[in-house]
Amino acid sequence: MSIADTAAYTEAWTGWWTACQPTGRATASWPFAREPLTGAQWGRLLNGGKYGIFLFVMALSWWAKSLAPAASSQSLTGAVSDVEWVLHQLVDVLTAPPAPAPTAGLALEVPDTGRGKRKVVLTEKALDLDESVQKRYRR
């Protein structure tokens, strides 16, 4: 990838990065706030789609290669630092032990009929459904 106008690319990349930040992260000024967020908040960057973190890293590499070998850019250095921090946050989210399931609420265990390998537990939501839906869960 060859970038002819590095200043325009810098502005475009920064705008894209800013637009994809979670709502819990202040993006009014650079560098952005660096307070840990939950996994749900990182959702857009935690996926592999068009807003996934891999594309940002790849775009940073294009930006870095577009600069002259002796040139340095504070904007690029700041962007790399911020992406690195986000990567550490994403790793922390992915490696954290899962939170225990809430125990509050009604649950009804359906007797094991021996036909299936898993025990079915009807949650409060399933119990509120009509009888035909409950029968489907009991199969």
Statement: residue 13 has pLDDT above 70: yes
Q: Tokens 């939170």 identify what position?
A: 99
Q: What region, left, alpha or beta, does residue 47 occupy, with left being phi > 0 and alpha being psi -120 to 50 degrees?
A: beta
Average pLDDT over residues 12-17: 91
Q: Provide the pLDDT confidence category of residue 41 given band limits of 50, 70 and 90.
A: confident
Q: Quick: pLDDT tens for 68-100.
A: 777 778 889 999 999 999 999 888 888 877 766
Q: Count H helices and E strands in the chain, helices first.
A: 5, 2
Q: Provide the pLDDT confidence category of residue 24 given band limits of 50, 70 and 90.
A: confident
DSSP 109: E
In terms of Cα–Cα distance, which of 137, 93, 92, 132 is closest to 113? Answer: 137
C-alpha R_g of the chain: 24
d(CA 63, CA 73): 10
DSSP characters over 8-20: HHHHHHHHHHHHT
How far separated are the first and last CA of the chain, in Å rounded? 56
23: its two tokens? 């709502």
